[in-house]
């Protein structure tokens, strides 16, 4: 039986929809009264795990799930050993650098050396600033990153931006977009290579659905 890791949060509804389009129904996860973390499709051919978005690639990498859906931002941050199969096109957002709208810095190159940068995405932030040869101090934050510039703890943040409303309401402005992120279909490399449980057939159906 194929096991799929589905992400809690903003990607869940569309993730369930794309699997439903190929005949697998995991919509029980959308029931607000349900506390189930593992369900089996009514056809009995696949099951799904409901996990934190940041953990999807872990379940796939270690073989507890053969397929998963995860944001490109998570893949770039965690660098898991998984097969990256398909850009599903939904969950569009961007990884951006933002500063206070009262800040004198209007571009990344305005930031002085050894500025403090708050971010959940420590690897992404560090690699970006290394790529432009600007030494900075990365401050890991896993809650409201926007508070970094507000409280004066950091000069800037590196964070995911969807509509930009949260930045606007907290007096922040984007000064650089690092990359665009969308939902990606990933697979356990060995399971995909040996086509266990006819995994490739399901992937082909998902590719067709995502394309059309």
pTM of the model: 0.93
* Same domain assignment for residues 54 and 11: yes
Cβ contacts of residue 6 below 8 Å, gap of 6+?
12, 15, 16, 26, 29, 48, 49, 50, 51, 56, 68, 69
* Same domain assignment for residues 172 and 195: no
Average of per-residue pLDDT across 142-166 = 96
* Same domain assignment for residues 6 and 84: yes
Average of per-residue pLDDT across 123-145 = 97
Residue 64 to residues 3, 35, 51, 192, Cα–Cα distance (Å): 7, 20, 12, 13
CATH number of the domain where residue 130 is located:
3.40.190.10
Q: What is the pLDDT of residue 196?
A: 87
* Same domain assignment for residues 207 and 154: no
Mean residue pLDDT of the chain comes to 96
| Boundaries of domain holding 8 | 2-91+182-211
Contact 132, 178 (CB under 8 A): no
Residues of the chain with pLDDT > 70, as a percent, come to: 99
Enumerate long-range contacts of 192-196, CB under 8 Å, 24 or more apart. 192/66, 192/83, 192/85, 196/66
Q: Give residue-wise pLDDT tens across range 108-119.
A: 999 999 999 999
Q: Give residue-wise pLDDT tens across range 87-113.
A: 999 999 999 999 999 999 999 999 999
Q: What is the pLDDT of residue 212?
A: 52
Q: What is the pLDDT of residue 211?
A: 62
Sign (positive/negative) of CA torsion 149, 114, 117, 108?
positive
């Amino acid at each position: 039986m194929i096991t799929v890791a589905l992400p809690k949060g903003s990607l869940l509804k569309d993730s369930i929809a794309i699997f439903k389009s190929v005949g697998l129904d995991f919509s029980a996860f959308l029931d607000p009264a349900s506390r189930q973390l593992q369900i089996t499709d009514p056809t009995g051919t696949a099951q799904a795990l409901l996990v934190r978005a940041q953990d999807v690639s872990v379940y796939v990498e270690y073989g507890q799930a053969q397929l998963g859906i995860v944001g490109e931002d998570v893949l770039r941050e965690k660098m898991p050993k998984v097969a990256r199969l398909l850009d599903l096109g939904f969950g569009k957002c961007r990884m951006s650098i933002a500063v206070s709208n009262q800040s004198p810095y209007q571009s990344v190159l305005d930031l002085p050396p050894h500025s403090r940068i708050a971010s959940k995405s420590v690897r992404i932030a560090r690699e970006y600033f290394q790529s432009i040869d600007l030494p900075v101090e990365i401050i890991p934050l896993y809650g409201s990153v926007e508070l970094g510039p507000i409280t004066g703890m950091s000069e800037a943040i590196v964070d995911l931006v969807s509509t930009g409303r949260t930045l606007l309401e907290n007096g922040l402005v984007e000064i650089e977009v690092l990359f665009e992120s969308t939902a990606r279909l990933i697979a356990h490399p060995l399971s995909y290579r040996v086509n266990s449980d006819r995994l490739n057939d399901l992937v082909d159906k998902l590719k067709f659905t995502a394309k059309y």
